[in-house]
Structure 1
Amino acid sequence: MASQRAMAVVGAGHAGGRAALQLRAQGWTGPIVVFGEEPDLPYERPALSKGLLTGEQSADQLMLAQAEGYAGQGITVRLGTAVTRIDTAARQVHTAAGEALDYEALLLATGGRARRLAIPGADQAGVQALRTLADARALQARLQPGQRLLIVGGGFIGLEVAASARARGCEVTLLEGGVRLMGRAVPAPIAERVAALHRAHGVDLRLRAAPESIAALNGRLHVRLLDGDLIVVDTVVAGIGIEPGVQLAREAGLRVGHGVCVDRHLRTSDPHVFAAGDVAECPSVLSGLPLRQETWQNAERQAAVAAANMLGGQTVYDTLPWFWSDQYDHTLQVAGEPALAATEVQRTLGEGAVLHFYLDSDGRVVGASGYGPARDVTKELKLARALVERLARPQAAALQDPNVKLKSLLTA
C-alpha cells in the first residue's frame, strides 16, 4: 500500500462511509481507505426492515454514494476485507490477507452483529436475523403472500418487519418474552397502543412467549414454544438486538465497556483512534454517563464529528438522542433521555395520537416520546423534540393541555 499515512476507517456501514466522505469534504487531501467485511458499499440501515422489504425502496436508494462517487473523490473502499489486528504503537491496521496500512488516524465504525437464537435448530435454513443488506434481500424473497412468518423479539426491528410482512400479505406471529413490547424504550401506554395496532392488522402477538426449539419437517419450520405450544411457519426472524463489534478494540488494548469507550470528541483511549456509530459508547450530553446508541442520527452526526477531530479538530459531540420507527401508517419517536426524568406528563392529541414529556427535578424537558398516525403527529413530534433540544422549562400543566400550542412554549 502507499507509504504516505492514510486516514483509515474500519467498518463500511453508515458511520464509516459517511466519515470517509466527510474527511474529504473537510479538507483531507491524502489517502482515505475504508475496510468493510460486507460485499456492499456503505448504506443506511433503517429501510432494511421497511421500504426494502415492501419493495418501495431499492438497494441503490440506500447507498451513501455509488462506486464512482468514492473513486472520484480518491476514497478507496475495500469491500469483503476483514481487518484482523490494530497495532496502535506502529499505527497500522492489518488485514486477513496479510496487508498492513499505516494510518495517520483511525476510525472504528465496526457496528455490531445481530444476535442469533441460542436454541436447538436455530441453524436451520429459513431462520435468520435482519442486520445487513444481504439479510434483507434474503428475507424479502421469502415474504410472499400466504407465507407464514414467526418473529422473535418485540423491539423496533421485529415490529417493523411484522408491519412490512403484513403489507406483503404474509401471516405473522410475533413473540415477545417480556410483559410488553419495546421494553423500557417507550412508556407502557405507547407500547399498549402499538400492540393494539399490530393486532388490528392481523398480527398474532404473544407476550411472555419464547421459542424453545426449531425443527424442519416437510418443508416447514416447527417451532416449539417454552409453554409447549407448537407453531408451524415458513420463516423465522430473530429481532433480538446486536452484539457491538468491540473485539478489535479490545485486542488492541483500547478501553471497552458496552461499546468502544470514547470521550466527547469521540476519541478512544488511544489519541490516534476514534470510534463512531453503533459501536461507540460516548458520554451522555445530559447526564455524562456512558451511552451507546443504535440510531440513524447517531451514525450520521458522529461520522462528521469524528472526521473533524481525526483532522485535528476539537469538535464536541453534543447531539441529543433521537430515533423513530414507522409501522403501517403510524410513527413513533423518542428524543432525549426519558430515563433521567423525575416527572412524566402526557398530552393526548386525539385520533390515537399521544405525547409524553419527561421532566427532570429542575423542570427541564429531558425527553419526549410520541406515537400516532403520521399525518396527525409528525408536526407535534418535531416541536416536542425541539423542546428537548433546548432543555426548555415549561409548566407541566401547559405541556399536558393540548389547547396550549407547543410552538408557544418554544418561544416563551
Structure 2
Amino acid sequence: MTSGMVIIGAGECGVRAAFALRENGHEGSITLIGAEKHLPYERPPLSKDAMISQEHPAPKTIASKDQFLGQNIGFLADTAVTGIDRKAKKVVFANGNSLAYDKVLLATGAVPRALPLAVESRHCAYLRSYDDALAIRARFQPGANIAIIGGGFIGLELAASARKRGASVSVLETQTRVLMRGVPEEIAKIIAARHAKEGVHLRCGIGLSGISDNDACATITLANGESLTADLIVIGIGATPVTALAEAAGLAIGNGIIVNEHLQTDDPAIFAAGDCCDFPLSIYGGRRVRLEAWRNAQEQGTLAARNMLGLAEPHLSVPWFWSDQYDLGLQVAGLADEGSTIIRRDLGDDAFILFHLASDGRLVAASGIGPGNAVARDIRLAEMLIARRAYPDPAHLAASDIKLKSLLAA
C-alpha cells in the first residue's frame, strides 16, 4: 500500500479529521485505525441515552460503512497499533504488519483514571466504551445499590441515569463539592440540590480508605471509619490521555502529547488532536491545556487535517462544553478559572449566566444553567465576545434588558 495519511484513533476527532482531509482536497490514501470492533460512535450518549433508553441501545455511529466507502477512506476496526517507526515513516501493528505514512494524526483520546483502591474489586466498573456502557446499564436495576466515586460530569450524569432506572445511588466525592473543576460553586450547588431532590445521596469532602469484596457486593470504607455497601461501584475520577505510542516514539509529553498552535508535535510529520493532546490557547496567552470535550474533538480534527495538508492555521477556538443533568442544561464557554470577578445575569425561568472577568476587565468565560437549552443562545454570544477579547461594561452584562448581541456590535 502506498504511503498517505494515517489516523490512529477512530473517535470523534479521528473521524472528523478523515473526512476533513477529503473536504480539503486530499486525493491520496487515508487510513483510519480504531481499536474497537464497532464502527466509530459518539461517546457523550454513553452516560445518558445509552443508560436510560427503553430499547436495547445501539451505538450512535459517527459515520457508516457507506460513508467511508463513498469518500474512499480505509477504516481498520479492532486493530492495535504497537509502534511508530519515525525513521522509516511507518506505523506497526500488533500482528507485525506495518503501514507507511506521509503524515500521522494521533487521535488516541483518553481513558478513565484508575483508582488504586479498586484494583482487586470485581464489583467496580469504568465507563469508556459502548461495551462498558452495556455492562453498567445491566446493573442499573430497580432496587440495586449503586455507588459512584467521583462528582464530576460523568459521575453525576451516571447518577441521574441510575436513578431514572430505579436504582439507589450514592455519589462519593473527596473534594468539598461536586464539579470542582471548571464550574462555579453557585452553579454546582444548584446541580447538587437537583440530584438530592431526585434521591441521590451526595457525600463530599470525605476520603476513601478501602474497598473490599464479598460474593454479592462490595464494601467501601471511608476515611472517617464509616462504610457503605454497593452492588456496583462506578469510578469516574477523571481521565488520563493515551500517550504510550507517542512516548515510545520519542515525542514530547506533558499533560498529553505536546503540540504547537498548529497541533503539530516535535516531529513535523506527526500531529495530535482531541483528548490526548496538550496544546496552547492563544486567547489565554498561550496557556497550555488539555480539553476533554466533544466540540473540541471535532474542531481539532478539522484543524489537524487542514494543517496536515500544509495550511499552518493556528488553533483559535474558545473552549466550550455542556452537560445535561435531569432537566437542567449546563454550558460553559472559556476557562472560568481565568476570571477574578463574577457578574450574574438572570434570564428568567430559573436560568442565569455568570460572566467571568479577568482583573483587567476582559471577559474570559461564561457559565450558565437553566431548564433545557435556556442558556444556549446567550452562552454562544458570550463565546463570541470572549473570542473578540472584549471588555464589556459589567453593568451591561448584568442587565437582562440589554441584549448581548448589542455588546457584540459595540
* Alignment TM-score, normalising by the size of structure 2: 0.95
Question: What is the CA–CA distance in structure 2 between the aligned matches of 1:92 and 1:166, rounded to whole Å?
Answer: 48
Instruction: Give 2:271's aligned amino acid.
Output: F
* 1:176-223 C-alpha deviation (Å, 9 max, x unpaired): 000111113111111111111111111000001243322332412222
Three-state SS of the structure 2 residue aligned to 1:260 is strand
Question: What is the CA–CA distance in structure 2 between the aligned matches of 1:36 and 1:318, rounded to whole Å?
Answer: 28
Q: Is the 8 A contact 1:285 1:320 kept in 2?
A: no
Q: Is the 8 A contact 2:281 2:315 kept in 1?
A: no
Q: How does 1:40-55 map to 2 (within 5 A)?
A: 40-55=38-53
1:179 to 176, 179, 186: 176
- Cα separation, partners in 2 of 1:76 and 1:59, compared to 1, 3 Å: farther
Is 1:150 matched with 2:147? yes
Question: What is the CA–CA distance in structure 1 between the aligned matches of 2:377 and 2:20, rounded to whole Å?
Answer: 30
Q: How does 1:4-19 map to 2 (within 5 A)?
A: 4-19=2-17
1:84 to 75, 82, 91: 82
Correspondence for 1:332? 330
**Runs of 4+, deviation exceeding 6 Å:** none
How many residue pairs are counted as aligned between the two chains? 409
Question: What is the CA–CA distance in structure 1 between the aligned matches of 2:179 and 2:333, rounded to whole Å?
Answer: 15
Deviation at 1:354, TM superposition (A): 2.4
Question: What is the CA–CA distance in structure 1 between the aligned matches of 2:7 and 2:276, rounded to whole Å?
Answer: 13
Three-state SS of the structure 1 residue aligned to 2:122 is coil
Q: How does 1:173-322 map to 2 (within 5 A)?
A: 173-286=170-283, 287-322=285-320
Which segment is superposed worse, 186-195 or 71-80? 71-80
* 1:2-44 C-alpha deviation (Å, 9 max, x unpaired): 1x11211111111112211222222222221122222222222
Three-state SS of the structure 2 residue aligned to 1:62 is coil
Correspondence for 1:356? 354
Which segment is superposed worse, 12-21 or 23-32? 23-32
Instruction: Give 2:79's aligned amino acid.
Output: T
Instruction: Give 1:247's aligned amino acid.
Output: A
Three-state SS of the structure 1 residue aligned to 2:383 is helix
Correspondence for 1:139? 136
Instruction: Give 1:244's aligned amino acid.
Output: P
Identical residues among aligned pairs (%): 43
Instruction: Give 2:405's aligned amino acid.
Output: K
Q: Is the 8 A contact 1:16 1:42 kept in 2?
A: no
Is 1:345 matched with 2:338? no
Which segment is superposed worse, 167-176 or 367-376? 367-376
Question: What is the CA–CA distance in structure 1 between the aligned matches of 2:353 and 2:55, rounded to whole Å?
Answer: 30
- Cα separation, partners in 2 of 1:317 and 1:226, compared to 1, 3 Å: same
Deviation at 1:384, TM superposition (A): 2.7
Question: What is the CA–CA distance in structure 2 between the aligned matches of 1:173 and 1:235, rounded to whole Å?
Answer: 11
* 1:312-333 C-alpha deviation (Å, 9 max, x unpaired): 2222221110000100000111
Q: Is the 8 A contact 2:184 2:336 kept in 1?
A: no
- Cα separation, partners in 2 of 1:375 and 1:97, compared to 1, 3 Å: closer
Structure 2 unaligned residues grouped into runs of 5+: none
